[in-house]
A and B are shown apart, each in its own frame.
Chain A
Amino acid sequence: MRSWLHYSATEIAERVLSGDCSAVEVARESIAALVEHGGERALGAVLRVDAEGALAAARTLDDRLVLARRASVDRAELRARYSLAGVTVAVKDSLVTRGLRTTCGSKMLERYVPPYDATVVERLRERGAIVVAKSNMDEFSMGSSTENSAYFVARNPWDRARVPGGSSGGSAVAVAAKLVHVALGSDTGGSIRQPAALTGVVGVKPTYGRVSRYGLIAFASSLDTVGPLASDVVSAELVYAAIAGRDPRDSTSVDRFVDRADFSRARERLRGARVGVIRDLLASTMDAGVRASFEQALSVMESEGAAIVELSLPSTRYAAAAYYVLAPAECSSNLARFDGVRYGFHADGEGSSAEERAAQTRAKGFGPEVKRRILLGTFALSEGYHDEFYEKAQRVRAMIRRDFERAFDAVDVLATPTSLVLPWRLGERTSDPVAMYEADVCTVAPSLAGVAAMSVPIGQAESDSGTWLPVGLQLVAPSFAEASLFELGFAVQNAISPTSVNLNR
C-alpha cells in the first residue's frame, strides 16, 4: 500500500476530512518514519518526536470529524475550518511549542519547556495539522549547513555524506525524505530557501511582517521571518495561508488581507510574466551544475511564454557584507537575554560575581558560531565603530531595497539560483566560517529588501563524487505579492517537473 506520507498535504487533508483515513493512522506512519529515519543515527532531521502529543491531537481531530460528519456539517465549511486536517508537521526548534521542549539547537536551552505555543504553531493546530516533531537546526539559526546544531548534524537524503543546508536543515530533510508532509522553518538570510534548494523541496520566505514572529526565538528581529517547506507549491501555499496574517502579539505583523493563490491561472500568469535576471549575480562564481540548471530553467520559462529581462541591481554587491553586520548586531542584542537568570542553562559558580557567572554561562551555553556572531555584532555596535559599520550597513540596506523596488517597476518577478553551490560534504567548510558567507548572496539580498521569495526545485546536477544533487531556483516577488509568487512557482514546477526520487525507502 502506498504510504500516507507519499500524499501531498492537500490530498491528505481531503482524505482525512472525508474519512478515507484517520488522522491517527497518518500520524502513526509519520512517527514510525521519524523514529526509523529521522534521528541522530540516520538523517538527523529531528531533535525530538512528540508521539504522545501527536497521537492525542490526531485522536481529538478524528473525534471531532466523526461528530461533524454525523451532524452533516457542510464539506466546504469543514474544509475551510480544517484545511490541514491530519497533515503531519515538523516544526523547527526555533519556534516554541507549549509543553514540548524547545532548544533552538542550543545547549543554552537544553531543558527549556515553553509555557506557550508560537502563533504559527497555534494556527496550524487550529487547522487540524498534527505537530509530530521538532526539527534540527543550526544553533540559534546561525549557519547554512545544520552542522552548528549543538546536538548532531543533519544529513542530505540525496547523499548522506553531504550537508542539507541550513539553518532549517532538519525541516528540509524531514520533508525531502517524506517523514512528514510539511514543515515550518524560519528564514533570516536564507534559512528556509537554501536548505529547501539543497534537498529538492519548496521553501517560502514570506514578506517581512506577513507572518507573526510571536514565539519565534529571535535571531535578527528586523530580518526574521517564518515560512513553510513542502514537497509541492500547492501544499506550501496551504500552510502559508494558515499561518499568515495580522497577530496582535507581534507589533511588526501587518494588518493586510491575505489573498490566496489561484492555481488555475498559474500557466497564464507565467505566459505573460516578465522575469528579471540579476546580471550582477550571474557574474558570481557558481558551481557549473547550478549554472546549467538555472539556465535551463530560464529557457523553460521562456518557452512557456515568459520574457527574460536582464537587469542590474548594483547594491547587491554589498548585500553579504551588510547582512553580516546587521544580523550579528541584532543577534548580539537579542541573545543578551541568555544570562542564566530567567530561563535556560546556567553555570554554577560559588562565590563568583553575577557578572562572572553570566560570562561563564554564556561561554558554556553557546557554541562557536554563535560566539563569533555575538562578538562581531558587539564590535559593530561598539563605540567608534557604530557609524562606520552598523549605520553604514543600514544605509546599504536602504540602497538594496531601492534597487529591488526599481527592479519591480520593470519586471514581475526576479529569478536567481537559490544557492550558488551544490550541497557540500559534511565538515568541508566548518573550519572556515567566512567561506560560506559570500555563497549566501542570492538569499540575503531579498532578506535585506524584506520582499517575498521562494525556492522551487528545478532538477539535479551531478556532484564531483558522482551523486545527483538537487538545485533550486529562487523566485523573488514584491512585498505582499505572495499569491502571484505561488502561482508562478507552481507554473515553473509544472513546466520543469523535476524527477521524483524515492530517497528513503
Chain B
Amino acid sequence: MIETSRYITVGAPKHGLNVARIASLARIALSADEERALQSQLDRVLAHVELLLEADAIAVEPSHTGLEAAPLARDQRADSLSPREALAQAALAAEGQFAVARFVEG
C-alpha cells in the first residue's frame, strides 16, 4: 500500500488497464514517456475507484440523467446558426460543408 496523501491510501488495482489500448480507442497519440506516466497514474486512480465494487447496489436501478423527476422536454423548432456561421471555424470547408481528408482508406 502506498500513502498517496493524508486522505487516501491505495494499493494495486484489481483490474488491468492497458493504457496503449485505451489511448488508441480514445484517439490520443502518446509518447513512450507519457504512456509510462499515465499507466502508473491511472493504475492508482483505478485502485481508488474500485471502491465502487464493494457497494451493494444490485437492487437499485441505474440513474442515467441529472434529474430523475423531470423528463427531457420535447424538441422544439428554433433558429440556429447559418451554414456560413457554422463553418467559420472549420479547418477546411468546401461547398458549404466541412471538408476532411478521406476517412475510409484503400
Binding site for B on A (CB under 8 A): 112-113, 115-116, 207-209, 221-224, 246, 248-249, 251-256, 284-285, 315, 317-318, 320-322, 324-325, 332, 336, 339-344, 346, 353-360, 362-363, 366, 371-372, 374-376, 378-379, 382, 385, 388-389, 391-399, 401-402, 420, 429, 432-435, 437-439, 450, 479
CB atoms of B67 and A207 under 8 A apart: yes
Given A115-B85, A339-B27, A399-B57, the answer on whether A433 and B41 have CB atoms closer than 8 Å is: yes
Residues in chain A near residue B89, CB distance under 8 A: 112-113, 115, 342-344
The answer, yes or no, to whether B100 is at the interface (CB within 8 Å) is yes
CB atoms of B38 and A372 under 8 A apart: yes
CA distance A362 to B4 in the complex (A): 29
Most B C-beta atoms less than 10 A away, residue of A112, A359, A375, A437: A375
CA distance A339 to B88 in the complex (A): 16
Binding site for A on B (CB under 8 A): 4-8, 10, 15, 17, 19, 22-30, 34, 38, 41-42, 44-46, 48-55, 57-58, 60-70, 72-73, 75-76, 78, 81, 85-86, 88-91, 98, 100-103, 105
Residues in chain B near residue A223, CB distance under 8 A: 66
11 contacts between A and B (CB under 8 A): A115-B81, A222-B65, A251-B73, A285-B6, A321-B50, A362-B29, A382-B25, A389-B49, A391-B62, A437-B8, A438-B8
Residues in chain A near residue B102, CB distance under 8 A: 354
CB atoms of B45 and A437 under 8 A apart: yes
CA distance A479 to B52 in the complex (A): 25
Residues in chain A near residue B57, CB distance under 8 A: 392, 395-396, 398-399
CB atoms of A363 and B29 under 8 A apart: yes
CA distance A356 to B98 in the complex (A): 18
For residue A436, which residue of chain B has the nearest CB?
B5
CA distance A402 to B61 in the complex (A): 11
9 A-B pairs with the lowest CB-CB distances in the bound complex, closest first? A394-B62, A208-B66, A343-B89, A395-B57, A435-B5, A398-B63, A363-B29, A359-B29, A115-B85
CA distance A252 to B67 in the complex (A): 8
CA distance A342 to B90 in the complex (A): 5
CB atoms of B48 and A375 under 8 A apart: no
For residue A223, which residue of chain B has the nearest CB?
B66
CA distance A40 to B24 in the complex (A): 36
Q: Name B55's contact: one of A363, A376, A396, A438 (CB within 8 Å).
A: A396
CB atoms of B66 and A341 under 8 A apart: no
CB atoms of A432 and B29 under 8 A apart: no
Most A C-beta atoms less than 10 A away, residue of B10, B46, B86: B46
Residues in chain B near residue A115, CB distance under 8 A: 81, 85-86, 88-89
